[in-house]
């Protein structure tokens, strides 16, 4: 019974997060290929200031949006207050400058972001303040990210 539970749990995890064991080719690769999960989202492991996070790639988000409960552990300093319009309506946020964001072979420094107290998940929205530095194409359930 335990083996059946383990196998089913692993199946659900792979369905939700197919990129969880993302392997990056050595030698300065400039391409990252992500698979879409069962609800059509692209989730990928990455880091903020060296701390591990799960990114949800979101071309509709202007900036990187970090849940408030993760901000301290990631070394983010809350800046000026602001307001963001989200899919769930307006929310009060704190602007922040993220010293380092890493996704696969890509490392960006001094990225504009915000700390969002309205986010309850552990996923970080990876918005256009990062994605604008990459070329991306979607084909056959995959998102291909490359350096321009």
**Long-range contacts at 14-17 (CB < 8 A, ≥ 24 apart):** 16/43, 17/43, 17/54
- pLDDT tens digit sequence for 50-101: 999 999 999 889 999 999 999 999 999 999 999 988 877 899 999 999 999 9
pLDDT bucket at 8, cuts 50 / 70 / 90: very low
Q: CATH fold of 2-146, please? A: Cathepsin D, subunit A; domain 1 (2.40.70)
Tokens 């321009």 belong to residue: 148
Distance CA 52, CA 16 (A): 18
pTM score: 0.84
Mean pLDDT over 35-59 rounds to 93
Tell me the domain boundaries of the chain.
Answer: 2-146
pLDDT value, residue 26: 55
pLDDT bucket at 2, cuts 50 / 70 / 90: low
């Amino acid at each position: 019974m335990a083996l059946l539970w383990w196998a089913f749990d692993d199946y659900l995890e792979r369905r939700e997060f197919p990129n969880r064991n993302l392997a990056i080719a050595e030698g300065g690769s400039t391409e990252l290929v992500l698979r879409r999960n069962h609800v059509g989202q692209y989730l990928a492991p990455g880091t903020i200031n060296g701390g591990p996070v799960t990114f949800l790639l979101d071309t509709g988000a202007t900036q990187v949006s970090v849940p408030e409960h993760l901000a301290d552990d990631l070394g983010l300093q809350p800046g000026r207050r602001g307001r963001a319009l989200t899919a769930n309506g307006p929310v009060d946020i704190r602007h922040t400058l993220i010293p380092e964001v890493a996704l696969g072979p890509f490392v960006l420094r001094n990225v504009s972001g915000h700390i969002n107290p309205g986010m309850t998940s552990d996923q970080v929205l990876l918005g256009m303040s990062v994605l604008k530095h990459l070329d991306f194409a979607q084909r056959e359930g995959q998102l291909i990210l490359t350096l321009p």
